[in-house]
Each structure stands twice: as C-alpha cells, then as structure tokens.
A = this chain, B = another copy of it.
Amino acid sequence: MSSALRSGDLLRMSSLFVRTLREDPADAEVASHKLLVRAGYIRRAAPGIYSWLPLGLRVLGKIETIVREEMNAIGGQEVHFPALLPKEPYEATGRWTEYGDGLFRLKDRKQADYLLAPTHEEMFTLLVKDLYASYKDLPLVIYQIQTKYRDEARPRAGLIRGREFVMKDSYSFDVHDEGLEAAYQKHRDAYERIFTRLGLEYVIVSAMSGAMGGSRSEEFLSPSPIGEDTFVRSSGGYAANVEAVVTPVPEAVPYDDAPAAHVEDTPDTPTIETLVACANERHARPDRPWTAADTLKNVVLALRRPDGKRELLVVGLPGDREVDLKRLEAAVAPSEAEPATEEDFKAHPELVKGYIGPQVLGPQGAQVEGDDGEKRSAVRYLLDPRVVPGTRWITGANEPGRHVFDLVAGRDFTADGTIEAAEVRAGDPAPDGSGPLELARGIEMGHIFQLGRKYADSLGLTVLDENGKQAVVTMGSYGVGVTRALAALAEANHDDRGLAWPARIAPVQVHLVATGKGAEVFEAAERLADGLVAAGVEVLYDDRPKVSPGVKFADAELLGAPLLVVVGRGLKDGVVEVRPRAGEAEQVPVDDAVTETVRRVEELLEN
C-alpha cells in the first residue's frame, strides 16, 4: 500500500473489554499511571506488576513493531531467550552476587538455583560462543524483545519503574574496536529513529564519566518532571546524566607564599556558617570574604561491597557542596553507600564528629594491611577534584572545638584519590567549556553501552582472528524500555481530560461516536466504520445504544485516540463532525466523511 495505513480493524465499545474509571486509582501518583489505569489500558496485579488489557496491548504492540523494524533495518537478527535461567552463567560474571536484592532468585524442584533474568548479557555471550568460532562470522547484532524482571526496592509510577517489564535488548559482537564503534553508532542512529517515530522528545546524555575508562555509554532520556534521572545540559550542546558529569579540574595554585597551617580554638562554631563568620572576624581578607567554599568538609560514609564487606570512606569536598549519593554510588559501583554508624565512630576514635580534618585520614592516618598484603589507609580518603594542590582550606583539627586554618592541599595533606561525589549545581561550568549547566529530569528510555571485552573475557568468548589467533570478542549492549516508553508517551501526551496519543502508537486512529436515539444515526455510523476499516483505518466505534453523549465524549477523551468522529445531530443536515483530540471540530459532509477522515489519519501518521 502506498499510504502509511496498514490493515484496518473495528473495535466496538459495546463489547470491548474495558471499563473506564472516573476516579484516580489510590496508589497512582503520576499522570501516566492514573490515566492508563482509568482508561482501562492496564491493571495492577502486584506492586510493579501489571496486566495488559486490549487497548494497552495494542499500543505496546505498535511500539514493539517500530522497535523491531528499526532493529531489523540495522541488520539486527531477532532471537528470544528464556526469562527463567540457571545461576551458573551469572555466577561466572559475578552478577549473581552483584545484583543483590534486585534479583528474583528461586530454586527448582531439584533445589537447583535459578533466576528471573534482569538482563541477558551472559546468555547472548554464551550463545555466540556456542555457535561462532571465526572472525568471519562477525560482525553480529542480535536482539530480543522480551519480558525482564527486577525486584525493585521501590517500584513506582506505574510502568515507569516496574518489576516485570518488556525490554528490547540487543548486543553487538566484533573482533576489533572499530567494529564496536560502528555497531554503537548504528544503534545510536536507530534509537534516534525509534524515538522520533514514536513521537517522543528525547535528549541523548553521556552516561559514564570519561574518567572511568574508555568505554562509551549514552542514555536516551525523555525530559519529564516525573523522571527519575537528573541530567544536565549546556547551551553549547553538552548533555550528561548527573552521575556522568565530570568536574572541570582547576589548575594547581602555587603555594610557596602560603602561610603555615595553624590550629585555633573555635568555640561556638558548630556549623559551617558559624565557622565562616568566625574566620571573617578573625582573619578578614582584603579582596573577598571567606565563604563556605573555603572550608573543607569531610563526610564519613560506609561502603558495602557486593560480597558483603563494609569499609569506611571519607569524602573531602568544599563546604558549600553536599555529597550526592547517586553520584557517589555511580563512582563506587557495584558497592553501595550508607551512612556511617555510631559503631563506626567508636571503632575510629580519631574521627571527631564535626571536627574531622585530613590530618588523620588517608595517607596521613593510620595504615592497615589489606587482603593482598599491601599497606593501605585505615580510613580511605577521597577528595573532590576541586581540591587541587595549593588550595588553602579551613577544616577540622580533629579535636572538639578546634579548627585548622591555611591547610594547603599537596603541602599539608594528600588523599587516596579523587571522587566525583559532590552535587552538580545549575550554573556549574560544563566540562567541555560549552557554558553553564542547567539541570532537568528525564525518564530513561534507552541506554547504549560499549561493554568491551568484560563479558567475553569472563565467559571465554573468543574467535580466530585474521591471523589465526584466538581473539577476545568486543561487545556492545543496547536497551530500549518498551513498557517504559509507553508510559513516557502517556506522560508526554495527555491533558486534564485524558490521554492524547500520537497517531502512530494510538490503539486506534479513529474513535467514532454515534449519539442520538434514531436507528439512522447508528446505521450511518456503522457504514462509516465499515468504510474506514476497508480503507485501512483502525476504528473504535462507540455503538452503545443507551449511553449518553456526555459519557461517550468523556470516554473518548480519556481513551485518547487522535481523531474523534461524531455521527449525531448533524446527520439530518448531512454532516458529521471530525475533531482532532486536541483541536477544533469541523463539519464534514457525510458523503465525504470516509475520504476526509482517511486523509486526516494519513496526515497524522506521516507527521
């Protein structure tokens, strides 16, 4: 067919398995969740687990089709893995443990360990290992559209963060880095086409700090105030999720002329504010007053490693910044961070709460012998990248009521390293110099990731290369949240009255309403429905004989088809009404109604 229309079909409101609700469900907080339930697209089966009703399933199917077409267009081959998987491959890569409580684990009747897969890197790697042996077999892109499971601590916002959900995940396999780069770029382009076709605004943000090593990773976010991801962007084109923002490192400051560090009694300075006031009073600077940014705050945390081991970490950062736990955790992953406890402080009497200074931390502090026999700091100390050599700080003197002044980084203290753990603030400079950052929230719709050789190494995926040598394969991993895309689309396309789907993914293109009591209205509507379906239009026909026009219109607006066609009072004058979901009604002669409606549907589908 030459038009964007595919095959038409007819749903009847009188028999459609749906029940619209006037009230929001009690557990729903965000618009997409409220409206998808109220409009009868989904129903909750358990926390974070939903059943799909006919209209919801139709939208989901359309999203899947667009994703599938674009994956096929870049040469992706569709496969399908089980959701229920044995433990062993996930143990080989360490993820059986790393996933912690987020993994649904179970035993079969023979007490063998299984899991419900949260993602399938291991299985894809093993299948390629099973089938392929030569560089000639590569490159390869395989994908699946499949149900995944994650035991989220806080399932929320309906489909936005669920425990059972549909994802497209694909994986690329190449012998050389350039191949991975090409596969990554092809996916990036395919994702742009997918989200464009879905009609979903998106921002591509860097998802991994360059500091962590060469691998590239980007996220596709749908900007939304209810999004769980915070991202930054500059007017000059920089965009990153907040975990990936790299702090521009200032140049080191010469400190030959810096005064010597000295400790002072600083009574009544329990807060940074009072400490700054004290400094300005005692040591006023001619050029500018002391601020919180001149103080060095040392925050004590505990890291829990996936193997259960716990270690203390102190983060030193300018006193005007807070530690951002999500940035910190991204930096220490797969370890998780938690607040230090009273027991931690008891075990480390050198840490004097409120007066902690670098003099007892990291290289300056006590040393212990690690698992590997190497000496290391008893309390690990990592600095914000802004604390460069030569900078002068006011900080704790490790005694109650005393602070140290003119403590110079690089002269008076060093650390075990740096860490990106400080909050990112609007107005901070973009790392690439492209201007100040602004912050926004988004829903993560897609993620593309250069895995490199990590999984192939763990699982032994090698092929013979051009020189007849075994080469470890390099991989990419690429995901689209299919159910989440549906929720993001609902989030971005609704108003007070209900959903307002883009035509390409609407469950039907036309919502046809017959109002009135005369048989002629229903007969005309029936003929119109038949004509539209024959032309390839998907029609939901509200044929309920005893339901008021008000209820029918309210249902139509709640369900959210892009075009409403009303056969009613105008019929005696030979017209029907055609009205876009969010536009003006137009009277169309009944004889032109099919042609005109088809024209509009085609227009909507092509936009």
Binding site for B on A (CB under 8 A): 15-19, 40, 43, 45-46, 49-54, 57, 60, 75, 77-86, 101-102, 104-106, 108-109, 114, 116, 123, 127, 130-132, 140, 142, 147, 149, 151, 153, 163-164
Contacts and interface: CB of A to CB of B under 8 A. Distances in A.
Contacts of A46: 82, 84-86, 114
Contacts of A163: 84, 108
A85 B44 CA distance: 11
A77 B54 contact: yes
Contacts of A57: 78-80
Contacts of A80: 51-52, 57, 60
Given A17-B77, A106-B106, 19 more contacts: A15-B140, A17-B79, A17-B131, A17-B140, A17-B142, A43-B127, A45-B123, A46-B82, A46-B84, A46-B86, A51-B81, A51-B82, A51-B127, A53-B127, A60-B80, A84-B104, A84-B149, A104-B114, A108-B163
B52 A79 contact: yes
A82 B164 contact: yes
Contacts of A84: 46, 49, 104, 116, 149, 163-164
A564 to B, nearest CB: 22
Contacts of A116: 84, 106, 116
Nearest to A12: B75
A338 B132 CA distance: 48
A534 B217 CA distance: 39
Contacts of A53: 79, 127
Contacts of A104: 84, 106, 108, 114
A51 B153 CA distance: 29
Contacts of A131: 17-19, 40
5 contacts: A17-B142, A46-B85, A49-B85, A51-B123, A57-B78
Contact of A50 (B82, B132, B147, B153): B82
A13 to B, nearest CB: 12
A115 to B, nearest CB: 10
Contacts of A149: 84
Nearest to A9: B72
A565 to B, nearest CB: 22
Contacts of A49: 82, 84-85
